[in-house]
């Protein structure tokens, strides 16, 4: 490992705390004033997209483009942590990746037994080296951590703002033309994939003390926005069903957001059964799946040098040789999230002796599992007070 990583791990070795199965079973400051957001929106109103609202694919091409800030070169690779706080207040990063944003969650009654999940988003501010609370419905950060995309609205929205993270000024606002519930940057940091719904997807009906009834998904389709070229395309993609008598792969979840393949050439929709994903061209044509190399954190399971492969979640985890399949290391963590470098992985480790998988923290672990550095404080992922979910972004 690099000298800087080794020195950091030695310095924090005494603070290491490390898990059973996944924390995925849990529900997956200073505020930005609405007036400020409105003023910024007015300042860039001339850049808003116009989209023709039709049932089929639509493309709009304004005359001028948008210049995005370049990614840093070389990218920083230092190790940063905030182990004294279960929800980080300053940057958490390990080698190639960083926590660029995160959300906390709470429940909101809609009357009767209906409940919705409400996210509160926090975005990294490099000016203060802290995470800043935002008023937006969704936040995603482009690779390189120079720009963020934010969704304006209350759960659903159809305007996406492109924010320069260093100046905190909006480069443009994009009219997506349809109500969407998520935004995801492409791997090259130039396009946004937004999933459209008729109704806010994170809603359910309480069905007893420990049971809830999920509603059928109202997914309608997806939008691809090319930010520098200033184009917007919409494609219909109705929700999958989870009916037990349906012979086709399905998904019973209300939220069925689409994602990018690792090289950005394809998009995928999630399944709740094997093979886990169905792949399509950006235009919606079914495609053969690429090698299953996307981690549960959304990044590559393959080490930067191409030799090793992250294993599946579950205590203990393992890392294998990509060519031979031989296990090269076992780790006492819950989940391997992303490669920090060729010898270390950002992972979800459980607190103490792993008696409760919901008590966990982000850690940096070596391939052989012998070195563990705790990067965030222990949290209880089930609670509103401590539960938070990270966004991992290449630096």
Dihedral through CA 5, CA 296, CA 349, CA 165, nearest 10? 50
Interior angle at CA 118, CA 115 and CA 124, nearest 5: 165
Q: What pLDDT is stored for residue 354 in this prediction? A: 76
Question: What's the topology of domain 3-28+36-394?
Answer: Methylamine Dehydrogenase; Chain H (2.130.10)
Instruction: Quote the tokens at residue 123.
Output: 């975005």
Q: Do the beta carbons of residue 77 and residue 242 sit within 8 Å?
A: no
Q: What pLDDT is stored for residue 217 in this prediction? A: 96
Q: What pLDDT is stored for residue 274 in this prediction? A: 83
Question: Each residue's pLDDT tens digit in the chain (395 positions)?
Answer: 433 344 443 344 333 333 333 333 333 333 343 333 433 333 333 333 333 333 344 434 343 578 999 999 999 999 999 999 989 999 999 999 999 999 999 999 999 889 999 999 999 999 999 999 999 999 999 999 999 999 999 999 999 999 999 999 999 999 999 999 999 999 999 999 999 999 999 999 988 777 888 899 999 999 999 999 999 999 999 999 877 666 777 999 999 999 999 999 999 999 988 888 999 999 999 999 998 788 877 799 999 999 999 999 999 999 999 999 999 999 999 999 999 999 999 999 988 777 778 889 999 999 999 999 999 999 887 777 788 999 999 99
Question: What's the DSSP call for residue 82?
Answer: B
Q: Do the beta carbons of residue 19 and residue 349 sit within 8 Å?
A: yes
| Burial category of 159 from C-beta neighbours within 10 Å (exposed 0-12, middle 13-18, buried 19 and up) | middle
Q: What pLDDT is stored for residue 64 in this prediction? A: 56
Q: What pLDDT is stored for residue 304 in this prediction? A: 96
Give the span between the Cα atoms of 350 and 380, in whole angstroms.
Answer: 10
Give the span between the Cα atoms of 342 and 158, in whole angstroms.
Answer: 40
Q: 4: part of which helix (H) or strand (E)?
A: helix 3-12
| Burial category of 241 from C-beta neighbours within 10 Å (exposed 0-12, middle 13-18, buried 19 and up) | middle
Give the span between the Cα atoms of 55 and 110, in whole angstroms.
Answer: 30
CB neighbours (10 Å) of residue 255? 20
Edge to edge, the sheet with strand 308-310 lists: 308-310, 317-321, 327-331
Q: What pLDDT is stored for residue 196 in this prediction? A: 98
Q: Is the peptide bond before 363 cis (omega within 30 degrees of 0)?
A: no
pTM: 0.82
Q: Do the beta carbons of residue 181 and residue 158 sit within 8 Å?
A: no
């Amino acid at each position: 490992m690099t000298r800087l990583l080794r020195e950091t791990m030695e310095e924090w070795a005494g603070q290491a705390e490390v898990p059973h199965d996944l924390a995925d079973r849990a529900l997956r400051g200073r505020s930005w004033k609405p007036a400020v957001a409105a003023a910024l929106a007015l300042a860039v109103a001339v850049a808003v997209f116009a989209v023709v609202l039709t049932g089929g694919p639509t493309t709009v091409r304004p005359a001028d483009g948008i210049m995005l800030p370049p990614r840093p070169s070389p990218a920083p690779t230092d190790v940063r942590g905030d182990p004294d706080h279960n929800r980080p207040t300053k940057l958490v990063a390990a080698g190639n990746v960083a926590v660029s944003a995160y959300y906390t969650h709470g429940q909101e009654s809609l009357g009767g037994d209906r409940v919705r999940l409400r996210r509160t988003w926090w975005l990294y501010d490099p000016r203060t080296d802290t995470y800043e609370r935002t008023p937006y419905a969704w936040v995603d950060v482009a690779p390189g951590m120079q720009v963020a995309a934010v969704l304006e609205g209350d759960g659903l929205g159809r305007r996406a703002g492109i924010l320069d993270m260093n100046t905190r000024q909006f480069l443009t606002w994009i009219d997506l033309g349809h109500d969407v519930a998520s935004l995801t940057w492409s791997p090259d940091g130039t396009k946004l994939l937004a999933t459209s719904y008729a109704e806010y997807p994170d809603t359910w009906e309480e069905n007893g003390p420990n049971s809830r009834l999920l509603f059928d998904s109202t997914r309608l389709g997806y939008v691809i926005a090319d930010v520098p070229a200033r184009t917007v395309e919409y494609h219909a993609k109705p929700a999958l069903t989870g009916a037990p008598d349906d012979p086709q792969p399905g998904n019973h979840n209300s939220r069925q957001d689409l994602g990018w393949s690792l090289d950005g050439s394809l998009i995928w929709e999630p399944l709740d059964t094997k093979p886990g994903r169905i792949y399509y061209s950006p235009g919606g044509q079914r495609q053969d799946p690429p090698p299953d190399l996307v981690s549960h954190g959304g990044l590559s399971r393959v080490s930067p040098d191409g030799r090793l492969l992250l294993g599946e979640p579950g205590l203990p985890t393992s890392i294998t040789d990509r060519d031979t399949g031989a296990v090269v290391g076992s780790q006492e963590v819950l989940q391997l999230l992303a490669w920090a470098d060729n010898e270390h992985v950002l992972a979800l480790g459980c607190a103490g002796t792993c008696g409760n998988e919901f008590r966990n923290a982000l850690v940096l672990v070596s391939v052989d599992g012998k070195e563990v550095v705790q990067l965030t404080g222990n949290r209880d992922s089930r609670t509103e007070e401590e539960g938070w979910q990270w966004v991992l972004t290449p630096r």
